[in-house]
Amino acid sequence: MRDLGNMRASLRTVCLTVLVSALMGAAAWAFLAALDLVTGARENHLWMFALLPVVNLATAWVYRNHGLRAARGNNLVIDSSITGTPIHARMAALTFVCSVATHAAGGSAGREGTAVQIGGTIASNVATLFHLDGRERQDLMLAGISAAFGGVFGTPLAGAFFGMEMCTIGKLNYSAGLYCLIASFVGDLTARTLGTTHAFNTIASVPAMEPATVALVVAAAVAFGLMARLFSLSIRTVKRIYASRIKNYLVAALVGSLVLLSVYAACGLYRYGGLSEWLVTAGFEGSTGPADVVAKLACTALTLGAGYQGGEVTPLFGIGAALGGWIGQISGVEPSFMAALGMVGVFGAALNVPITTIMLSVDMFGGQAAAYFVIVAFISYLVAGHRGVYPAQRIVTPKR
Amino acid sequence: MRDLGNMRASLRTVCLTVLVSALMGAAAWAFLAALDLVTGARENHLWMFALLPVVNLATAWVYRNHGLRAARGNNLVIDSSITGTPIHARMAALTFVCSVATHAAGGSAGREGTAVQIGGTIASNVATLFHLDGRERQDLMLAGISAAFGGVFGTPLAGAFFGMEMCTIGKLNYSAGLYCLIASFVGDLTARTLGTTHAFNTIASVPAMEPATVALVVAAAVAFGLMARLFSLSIRTVKRIYASRIKNYLVAALVGSLVLLSVYAACGLYRYGGLSEWLVTAGFEGSTGPADVVAKLACTALTLGAGYQGGEVTPLFGIGAALGGWIGQISGVEPSFMAALGMVGVFGAALNVPITTIMLSVDMFGGQAAAYFVIVAFISYLVAGHRGVYPAQRIVTPKR
C-alpha cells in the first residue's frame, strides 16, 4: 500500500496537473486562433511572404539578446524535465509570438514545438511556484507536454502518451501515466470548450490483411522511417551550413530567410508555406506525387534550419500523407489508407514515439486498421535510427 | 546506421521468431482443441469432477519428482527471459498435459499460464539449439511469450505487447518490439489456419464522455484494481496456508483438491469450474451479481492455490466481466460497456501490463471506447500495487 504522504503528494500533483493543463488548453486555443487568423490573412495576401526576412531577423535578435536559453526549444523542455532546471516564463511568450510571426510570413513549420514549449514553461513555473522537486516536478513537466500535444492537436490519447515518451528513446514513463492522461484530456477539453475545432481526414477503406498487403505496408513503413531520417538530417544540415559558413548571426538569419524566399518565388512553392494542411487532404485523396514530398521537405528544412520558430509535426503530417498517398496510387492500394499510415508513421519515426504513433491513429481513425498502424509504428521507429528531431532525447534502450 | 553484423543478427532473430511462433501457434491450436474436448465432456458428465483429487495428486507428484524447476511456472519463464537460464523441454509437455487434466476435472483455471510456459520452453530450446545468447536470446524468449498469448487468445496486438511487458513492472521492452509483433501475428495466424476460432463479446453502446460517466469509470477502475489485488492475494494466501500447515506435499495436494471439491459440491458451484466462459457473456448481458464474482474468485483461488496447472487470464476475464456487468446494472450504465472495461481492466491490473490492456481492447472491441480503456488501464494498474500474479516480475519503475 502506498503510504499516506505518497498519496497526498500524488493528489497534489493531480491538482497541479489540472491547473497546468487548463492554462495550457487556453494557450492552445489562443495559439490556434492566432494561427487561423494569420494563415487566412497570408493566403489572401501573397505579399506577406515578404515579411520572411523581417521575422527571421527579429526572431534571431530577440532570442540571442533576450531569449536566455530558449533558442534550444523543445530540447530545453526535455532537459528541464529530466534534470529539473527551471524554464524562464519568457520562453512561452517568445515562442508564441515568434511562431505566429513565422506562420504570418509563410514559413513552413508546425505547431507542436510551440505548444510543447508553452506547456513546459507553464509546468516548470507552476512547479517552482509550489516548490515541487524530484519526481513530482518531472511528472508535472511531462503532464505539461501531454496537455500541449492533446490541446493543440485535439488528440487526447496521443497527447497522453507523448508526454510519457517524448523525453526518452526506448522508454515509456509509466509512472507519469496518470498525470499525462489527465493533462491531455483537460488540455484538449479546455481548448475545445473555448472554441477550438479539429477536423480529421478519414480512411475510405482498409484492405484485408493478406500477405501482399502486409508486404507493401512493411515496405512503406521502411520508406516512412527513411523519410523521417531524411527530415531530421535535412534540418540539421541546413542549420549546420548556416552556422558554420556565416559568422554574424544576423547575416545568417537574413541569408536563411532570403534563401527560403527565393526558393518559394523561383519554384512557385508558396502553397507549401505555413501549415499547408491541404497537403494532408491531398494525400488522402491520392493526388500527391514525389514533387509534393520534396517541396514540403525542402521548405520545412529551409524554414526550421534558418532559425524560424515553430514545430515539426504538422510538416511531418503533410510529408507523410503526401508520400503515403503517392505510394497508394502507384501500388493500387487505397490512397487514404496509405496516406494515413504515412502521416502517422513519418511523424512517429521522426520523433521516436512509437506508442504515441499507435494512439494517434486511434484518436484520428478510431482504431480502424490498428494492426497496420502497429506494424508501421515499430518498423519506421527502428528504421529512423537514434537521431530524431530532438537531439536532447535520452537513449534508454538503443534500437537494434 | 546499424552495422551489418547487427543486421545479420536481427535477421536471424526474425527467422527464429517465425519458427518459434509457428511451433507455438500449432501448440496453441492443439491445446485449445484438447480443452474444447475435455470441457465438452466434463459439461456432460458431472462425475468428472471426482477426478479432482487424482489430478492434483498426479500433478503434485510429477512436478515434485520429474518437474525439475517447472513448478515455478510463468515465473520460471520470466527468470529465464531475464537471466538467460535455459528451460528444460519437459516443462512444455508437463504443463500441457496437467492443464488439460485440470480442465477435465473442472479446476477453475485459465490458459495463458500454460501457453506462456509452452512458448517460453519452445523459445528457450530453439535459442539453445542455435547458440543464441544475451539480447538475442532475450528477444526470442519475449517473442515466444507473445506468440503464446496471441495464439491462444486470438488477439495479436495484445500478444505483441504482452511479450514486451510481462517480465517487468513499469517498463516496455521497445527493442524486442518487432520480434514480439511478428511472433504474435504468426502465432495467431498459425493457430487460426489449423482451425482455431475465437468469438469476442461486443459492446452494445458506448456512453458519451460526460463528467458523470468519466467519474463512474474512474470509480470502477479503482474497483477493478482492488479486485486484481484481491485475486493475487487470494491465490497467494491459499498457497501459503496449504504449504505451512501440511508437511507432506501429497497430503497437501489431496487436502487442496478435497477442499475445492467440497466447495463445488456444498455450494453447487460446478458451473464456475473450468474456463466458465459463460460468465463473460453473462457479464456482458448484465445478468451477473456479486455472488458470481465471489464464487469465481473463490474457485480459482482454491484451484490455483492448491497447485493445479493452468493460467490466470480466463478466470480474470470472467471475474472482471461479472464485476463490470454488475456495476453497469446498479449504476444504470450499459452493462456490456462496463463488463468490457472490467474484463480487460482486472486482467491488466493483475498482470501489471497496462499497454497490453489497451491493445487487448483494440483487438476485442476494435478501438471502440479506447479513451475509457486507457483510463481504466492506468488507474487499475496503479491501484493494483506491485504484487501481481507473477512475483518474478522485475520492478523497473515503481508505481507512485
ipTM (interface pTM): 0.89
- Whether A160 has its CB under 8 Å from any CB of chain B: the answer is yes
- State the pLDDT at residue B141: 97
Convert the pLDDT of each residue in B346-368 to its tens digit: 999 999 999 999 999 999 999 88
From chain B, the residues in CB contact with A6 under 8 A are 400
Indicate whether B220 pLDDT > 80. yes
- By percentage, how much of chain A surpasses pLDDT 70? 99
CA distance A13 to A15: 5
From A50-54, B68-72, B271-275, the region with the lowest mean pLDDT: B68-72
Which of B12, B188, B400 would you mutate first to test chain A, the one with the most A CBs within 10 A? B400
Quickly state the pLDDT bin for A255 (edges 50, 70, 90).
Answer: very high
CA distance A16 to A24: 12
Mean pLDDT of B306-327: 97
Quickly state the pLDDT bin for B231 (edges 50, 70, 90).
Answer: very high
- State the pLDDT at residue B2: 52
Interface touch A174/B174, C-beta < 8 Å = no
Amino acid at the residue B108: S
Indicate whether A329 pLDDT > 80. yes
- State the pLDDT at residue B3: 65
Interior angle at CA B204, CA B199 and CA B207, nearest 5: 135
Residue A212, Cβ neighbours under 10 Å: how many?
10
Indicate whether A92 pLDDT > 50. yes
- Whether B385 has its CB under 8 Å from any CB of chain A: the answer is yes
DSSP A395: E
Quickly state the pLDDT bin for A222 (edges 50, 70, 90).
Answer: very high
CA distances from A356 to A179, A359, A362, A374 (A): 16, 5, 10, 10
CA distance B42 to B21: 31
- Whether B173 has its CB under 8 Å from any CB of chain A: the answer is yes
- State the pLDDT at residue B392: 87
- Whether B289 has its CB under 8 Å from any CB of chain A: the answer is no
- Whether B4 has its CB under 8 Å from any CB of chain A: the answer is no
Which chain A residue has the Cα nearest residue B186? A211
Which of B174, B200, B213, B229 would you mutate first to test chain A, the one with the most A CBs within 10 A? B174
From B146-150, B206-210, B294-298, the region with the lowest mean pLDDT: B206-210
Indicate whether B103 pLDDT > 70. yes
Indicate whether B58 pLDDT > 90. yes
From chain B, the residues in CB contact with A190 under 8 A are none
Contact of A357 with A193, CB cutoff 8 Å: no
Beta bridge partners of B77: none
From chain B, the residues in CB contact with A138 under 8 A are none
Nearest Cβ partner for A374 among B157, B174, B381: B157
Residue window 193-212, chain B: list those with CB within 8 Å of chain A.
none
CA distance B60 to chain A (A): 34
Interface touch A160/B368, C-beta < 8 Å = no
CA distance B388 to B233: 8
CA distance A362 to A358: 7
Mean pLDDT of chain B: 95
Indicate whether A203 pLDDT > 60. yes
CA distance B236 to B174: 31
Distance of alpha carbon B132 from its chain centroid, rounded? 27
- State the pLDDT at residue B387: 86
Interface touch A367/B368, C-beta < 8 Å = yes
List domains and CATH numbers for chain A.
4-194 (1.10.3080.10), 211-395 (1.10.3080.10)
Mean pLDDT of B332-339: 97
CA distance B283 to B292: 9
Residue B1, Cβ neighbours under 10 Å: how many?
7
Interface touch B181/A378, C-beta < 8 Å = yes
Which chain A residue has the Cα nearest residue B386? A1
Indicate whether A3 pLDDT > 70. no
Indicate whether A5 pLDDT > 80. no
- State the pLDDT at residue B71: 87
Mean pLDDT of A211-225: 96
Length of chain B: 400
CA distance A134 to chain B (A): 13
Quickly state the pLDDT bin for A400 (edges 50, 70, 90).
Answer: low
Mean pLDDT of A239-256: 96
- State the pLDDT at residue A1: 47
CA distance B128 to B140: 11
At residue A395, φ and ψ (nearest 5 deg) are -85, 110
Interface touch B354/A174, C-beta < 8 Å = yes
Convert the pLDDT of each residue in A140-172 to its tens digit: 999 999 999 999 999 999 999 999 999 999 889
CA distance A43 to A50: 13
CA distance B358 to B376: 9
- Whether A355 has its CB under 8 Å from any CB of chain B: the answer is yes
Indicate whether A281 pLDDT > 70. yes
Indicate whether A6 pLDDT > 80. no
At residue A264, φ and ψ (nearest 5 deg) are -55, -50
Amino acid at the residue B54: V
Mean pLDDT of A35-46: 96
From chain B, the residues in CB contact with A355 under 8 A are 172, 355
Mean pLDDT of A286-301: 97
Convert the pLDDT of each residue in A108-121 to its tens digit: 999 999 999 999 99
DSSP H helix total and E strand total for chain A: 16, 2
Nearest Cβ partner for A400 among B135, B366, B381: B135
Indicate whether B78 pLDDT > 70. yes
User: Which among A133, A186, A134, A137 has a CA at the least distance from the CA of A160?
Assistant: A186
End-to-end CA distance of chain B: 38
Interior angle at CA B368, CA B362 and CA B373, nearest 5: 65
Q: Is B169 helix (H, G, I), strand (E, B) or coil?
A: strand
Rounded-to-10 torsion of CA B27, B30, B35, B41? -160
Amino acid at the residue A167: C
- Whether A164 has its CB under 8 Å from any CB of chain B: the answer is no
- State the pLDDT at residue B329: 97
- By percentage, how much of chain B surpasses pLDDT 70? 99
How much is the CA Rg of chain B, to the nearest whole Å?
20
Indicate whether A353 pLDDT > 50. yes
Indicate whether A4 pLDDT > 80. no
CA distance B52 to B257: 6
- State the pLDDT at residue A201: 95
Contact of A279 with A320, CB cutoff 8 Å: no
Convert the pLDDT of each residue in B264-286 to its tens digit: 999 999 999 999 999 999 999 99
DSSP H helix total and E strand total for chain B: 16, 2
Mean pLDDT of A97-112: 96
End-to-end CA distance of chain A: 38
Convert the pLDDT of each residue in A165-180 to its tens digit: 999 998 899 889 999 9
From A49-63, A294-308, B170-184, the region with the lowest mean pLDDT: B170-184
Quickly state the pLDDT bin for A10 (edges 50, 70, 90).
Answer: confident
Convert the pLDDT of each residue in B170-215 to its tens digit: 889 988 999 999 999 999 999 999 999 999 999 999 999 899 999 9
- State the pLDDT at residue A289: 96
- By percentage, how much of chain B surpasses pLDDT 90? 89
- Whether A268 has its CB under 8 Å from any CB of chain B: the answer is no
- Whether A264 has its CB under 8 Å from any CB of chain B: the answer is no
- Whether B242 has its CB under 8 Å from any CB of chain A: the answer is no
Indicate whether B382 pLDDT > 70. yes
- State the pLDDT at residue B131: 95
CA distance B316 to B231: 8
Interface touch B354/A175, C-beta < 8 Å = no
Mean pLDDT of A353-357: 96
DSSP output for A68-117:
TTGGGTHHHHHHHHHH-----THHHHHHHHHHHHHHHHT---BSHHHHHH
From chain B, the residues in CB contact with A374 under 8 A are 157, 160, 181, 359
- Whether A86 has its CB under 8 Å from any CB of chain B: the answer is no
Give the orientation angle of helix B370-383 with respect to helix A354-365, to 10 degrees: 140
